Amino acid sequence: MIEIKPIKFEEAEVLRDIAIRTFEETFGHDNEPDQLAAFFDKDLSLDILKKELKHPDSQHYFIRVDGEPAGYLKLNRGQAQTEQELANAFEIQRLYLLRAYQGRGLGQKLLEFALERACESGCDWAWLGVWEHNIKAQSLYQKYGFEKFSEHLFAVGDKMDRDWLLRKPLTRKGKEC
């Protein structure tokens, strides 16, 4: 059974474990161990994740398969967004799956879930950042109508990667999603 449920504050340690494991599996090949360790300490520490879980403009979800966390999703509005380039926007900040669960359509389920939340939000745009070399993710986002509108640098320790910022309008000709 597949479920997408909010992450409870008490699950912060499980979130940290999944966040680190999915990031290592996705980007470990392109980063040195010290770069990853610095990123985890700065951006995925237990204290940081607990603050994010408490933020009123952020939502966090686990996707579970037969009760086991297979990945997670982080959504932001307002000042919780990592960039403020679009007016009235909804950010899909993190959408990660453990490698063992990839290829089963779970990424698509998480993205569709995120877009449903975006549509319910009343925002005009959904947007996200994706590493310029992550062709697999870019392909998925393009299928859902996301287009590049900007880019920014993303620090992994002392290394700077380039992320493309992709957006998708949530209203067309006055109709919601």
> Does position 33 have pLDDT exceeding 90, yes or no?
yes
pLDDT (0 to 100) of residue 120: 92
The predicted structure's pLDDT at residue 101: 97
- Say which residues have a Cβ less than 8 Å from residue 140's Cβ, sequence separation at least 6: 107, 108, 111
Domain extent for 51: 2-176
How would residue 171 be classed by pLDDT, with cut points 50, 70 and 90?
confident
Decide if pLDDT at 173 tops 70.
Answer: no
| Residue-averaged pLDDT of the chain | 94
Burial 107-130 (b: 16+ CB within 10 A, else e): bebbbebbbebbeebebebbbbbb
pTM, full prediction:
0.92
pLDDT band (50, 70, 90) for residue 177? low
Q: Count of domains in the chain?
A: 1
Residue 66 has pLDDT above 80, yes or no: yes
CATH code of the domain containing 47: 3.40.630.30
Q: Which of 15-19, 64-68, 170-174 has the lowest mean pLDDT?
A: 170-174
- Residue 172 predicted with pLDDT over 70: no
- Say if residues 124 and 87 touch (Cβ distance below 8 Å): yes
State yes or no: pLDDT of 129 exceeds 70.
yes
State the virtual CA torsion across 35, 32, 91, 104 in degrees, nearest 10. Answer: -150
H/E stretch holding 162 reads: strand 159-169
